[in-house]
Structure 1
Amino acid sequence: MSDTGTSDTGTSGTGTSGTVSADVAAALAEVVGRDQVLTGDQISPDYGHDEMLSAAAQQPGAVVRPASAAEVSGVLRVASAHQLAVTARGSGSGLSGAAIPEPGGLVISLERMNRVLEIDVDNHVAVVQPGVTLSELDEATSAHGLTYPVYPGELSASLGGNVATNAGGMRAVRYGVTRSQVLGLEAVLPTGEVLRTGGKLVKASTGYDLTQLIIGSEGTLAVVTEVTLRLYPRPPHQATVLAPFHTVDEVARAVPKVVHSGVAPLILEYIDGLTMGAITYAQKLDLGVPTEVREKAQAYLLVMLESGHAQRLDEDTEQLGNLLTELGAIDLYVLPGPSARRLVEAREKAFWTSKAAGANDIIDTVVPRAAIPEFLAAAQEIGQRHGAAVFGCGHAGDGNVHLAVFQPDDEVRSALLRELFEASMKLGGLISGEHGIGRAKKRYFLELTDPATIDLMRRIKRAFDPTGILNPGVLLEP
């Protein structure tokens, strides 16, 4: 924080080469063991970046790999004593630069804290360490007929990272985002104190809700070492409907009516025609949509339904089909299971498709879902005015719009992004719906957010992290 006297955070424990000093390395080794402290050439380049498109990797001074909350506590005590900047890292699959370390700082990699500690069937709860991936949790819950519903598009993502960014994904329209699923946390403050919040409780009214405060804080308040999650029964029946429309506007205007219909979609996604072509080509996916329909369709609505009863699912699917036809769908395709799964996977990998195509930035702004048509129209106008290609897809059911921006000129692109964020905020939206602010969008967040809000966030940051060692430069200025 600029007013705490710690603007040089992350330098006093490092040498001129950018590696931590021998004394600091030795102190860290006493906590986690010599083999779990990496310095110099031992540090893989992967520890220096996440998947943010517009930022260079940074070489940390050291990487430590603790195996318990006690070891995380000891590491943070060493970091505090030496004023060493700390970045907690999960799978590194984030898109906003929150896992990019300070040069010469300390990365706490949570890869060894990867155990599913408990599946509590009676309470529909899972207790996991932060390094557990979504794929690993899904395997553990499926054996009990349960599911954890947050799928942000990358199953290698860790639960700790999901908590840090309040990850969402395609199923948020029905189940909500990470914030809706976390019942309790164990977290370590930068002073080394271990904090427990919440528990196996579905409601509480006892003091400040520190669980919710830590969720989405992007590693700037505490290092999460254990997560208690809400689970749900795993419905056995699913159906997926793909509906091509003549325009993106028609798709966007159909979304509120689908939500209002009562069919309770598990997934409700819009995909523009260019993105659909790109992802199906990249995944070699033939959905059986005739050429003449593809030529007419500028956008698609992807709807997945689920149910515990096959007959109810058939009724809901028929109701949905009738509604989409009334709303102007060119045609309807009820996709067989394998094709549906492949299309959902292809949609989840849209980021990688955009990255391979040379996108210069990815944004995930969010607006009230009824405002999607107006925002998309504004986005196209802004893109054209700045000589940029702007297209994509999004979680239409909750207003989360994902856009790939193709404009290589940094200055022009910066002006374009600011206008996009301003347009979303004028419609009652926010800069990020699920990827977080990180380093990528910090400038716009600080410029466009009410100063009173920023000031309160700075005071909260100081209360948790008085010397400013946790993720300096992320979300707020150090």
Structure 2
Amino acid sequence: MSTPPDTDTAPDQRALDRFAAVVGSAHVLTGNRIGPDYHHDEALAGTPVAPRYLALPATAGETAELLAAAAAAGIPVTARGAGTGLSGACRPAPGGLVISFERMAAVLEVDIDNQVAVVQPGVTLAALDAATAPYGLMYTVFPGELSASIGGTVGTNAGGMRAVRYGVTRHNVLGLQAALPSGELLRTGGKLTKLSAGYDLTQLIIGSEGTLALATEITVRLYPRPAHSVTLMAAFADLAAVMAAVPATLRTGVAPTILEYLDTVTLDAISRAQELELGIDPGVRAAARAYLVIGLDNRERAPLDTDIDLLGQLLESSGALNIYVLEGHSARLLIEAREKAFWSAKAAGADEVLDVVVPRAAMPAFFDRATALADEVGAVLVGCGHAGDGNVHMGVFCRAEATREALLRRVFTLATDLGGAVSGEHGLGRIKTAHFTAVADPVALTLMRGIKHAFDPAGILNPGVILEEKVHA
């Protein structure tokens, strides 16, 4: 991405001095010292923006002091983790301060007895996975990019393929420490699996995309690592048959860790991109239009084999053209390839990626009607998604921006009319906020604005994200 020239990048010396007094002059950058990576995230749409200031705090206290200084100066603040987001939430506001958490990247504690970990926001999913593995435990939120930071996933309420069993971020974060624009530090929740004492501020901050408070410490739930796992891939003649097999699968009582669908275009794309050979019979490949991928695991091999047999019979009776049982290396490669579907879509020239969510039973209707909307304007929608929870991932191929934005508005309206929402896990960021405010319940928007003002009366935290607001520059 290239960044257009910014004619108003000169820092305010008083603000710069104040930031430097908090974190040290070596950890406050301005102008050309701020590299282009800090101008954007991985969103396909939108223009990168150069921040006026970049600060790298080392403690929660420093983060709170930075916010207080920014609020006093009326400088907008954007938090940044690893920059892997897909909706522009960490794209800076013009004239703003970026607070990057790369110096706050420690796993503070792995508590075996309570099965939790306490981490700083800059810790990556890969680092947490490595830290918990020696204890036979794992953090179960895997949104598809292990370089993502825990703080970033808290901001967007990230989900991923394993959400069908383990839930999304908000189901797996038990407590937070967060910095407020007042300069105060707030603690919510803790090493508790249940809580009924006042408003749940932990859940309010999760998914707020840096608009209410900045998480400086996160307590996450851990689960035992399974000893045995297998992946089933069933080919079907059409997507309706795939979606009919999903509730039937869940009614068996088997608890899959992964329940995904892929259309043939997406499977072919990720197979080429990842040099993946799945051994699909040519006749099956020619007849198939969609695939259902089911991940299973267990502590013991015998019950896992029982589940494989049960689901194999069910999928066959549901009209599967063929069923492939993948284990070990081949299973891992398929899941890794599916997790990289965004990069395959980007490489193929997608102009946008969507993560709308609808009730699971409404997915076939959504696909049919969304595809018809795209056909009307000569656009193409292809994709995959979390069949178990109704989260639809689509690559949008539509070069003309005005046409594409009009199509997206119609697709988001369709999802909302079907009982769904604009985003299931990527968040709104700066890319989808206008669409969200156009289709959201006005009463809900009014309440959200009141909550925003209570946390952030100066309006400095990520203005223009989630709620359309005037940028304080």
Instruction: State the match for 2:332 in structure 1.
Output: 341
C-alpha deviation, 1:47, in angstroms: 0.5
**Which residue of 279, 303, 312 corresponds with 2:303?**
312
Alignment of 1:12-411 (within 5 A): 17-411=8-402
Q: Would you say the 8 A contact 2:229–2:327 is kept in 1?
A: no
TM-score by length of 2: 0.97
String of CA shifts for 1:401-450, please: whole Å, max 9, x gaps. Answer: 00111001111111111111111111111110000111111111111111
1: CA distance between counterparts of 2:460 and 2:183? 12
1: CA distance between counterparts of 2:178 and 2:52? 24
2: CA distance between counterparts of 1:464 and 1:184? 18
2: CA distance between counterparts of 1:77 and 1:450? 32
Identity, in percent, stands at 57
Quote the RMSD (CA, aligned, Å). Answer: 1.0
Q: Would you say the 8 A contact 1:19–1:62 is kept in 2?
A: no
C-alpha deviation, 1:16, in angstroms: 6.2
C-alpha deviation, 1:307, in angstroms: 0.4
Equivalent pairs counted in the alignment come to: 464
2: CA distance between counterparts of 1:285 and 1:336? 14
1: CA distance between counterparts of 2:51 and 2:448? 27
1: CA distance between counterparts of 2:361 and 2:60? 44
State the one-letter code of the partner of 1:52.
A
State the one-letter code of the partner of 2:436.
F
**Which residue of 420, 427, 438 corresponds with 1:436?**
427
1: CA distance between counterparts of 2:287 and 2:72? 64
C-alpha deviation, 1:17, in angstroms: 3.5
Q: Secondary structure at the match of 2:396?
A: strand
Q: Secondary structure at the match of 1:475?
A: coil
String of CA shifts for 1:118-172, please: whole Å, max 9, x gaps. Answer: 0000000000000000000000111100011000010000000000000000000
**Which residue of 433, 436, 460 corresponds with 2:451?**
460
C-alpha deviation, 1:331, in angstroms: 0.5
Q: Would you say the 8 A contact 1:253–1:373 is kept in 2?
A: no
State the one-letter code of the partner of 1:350.
A
C-alpha deviation, 1:19, in angstroms: 3.3
Q: Would you say the 8 A contact 2:52–2:95 is kept in 1?
A: yes
The range that moved more, 307-316 or 411-420, is 411-420
Q: Secondary structure at the match of 2:336?
A: helix
Q: Secondary structure at the match of 1:378?
A: helix
Q: Which runs of 5+ in 1 are unaligned?
A: 1-14
C-alpha deviation, 1:393, in angstroms: 0.1
State the one-letter code of the partner of 2:234.
A
2: CA distance between counterparts of 1:321 and 1:19? 64
2: CA distance between counterparts of 1:21 and 1:463? 27
2: CA distance between counterparts of 1:74 and 1:450? 36
1: CA distance between counterparts of 2:214 and 2:421? 25
1: CA distance between counterparts of 2:251 and 2:419? 21
Q: Which runs of 4+ in 1 moved over 4 A?
A: none
State the one-letter code of the partner of 2:131.
A
Q: Would you say the 8 A contact 2:231–2:293 is kept in 1?
A: yes
Q: Would you say the 8 A contact 1:149–1:175 is kept in 2?
A: yes
Q: Secondary structure at the match of 1:271?
A: strand
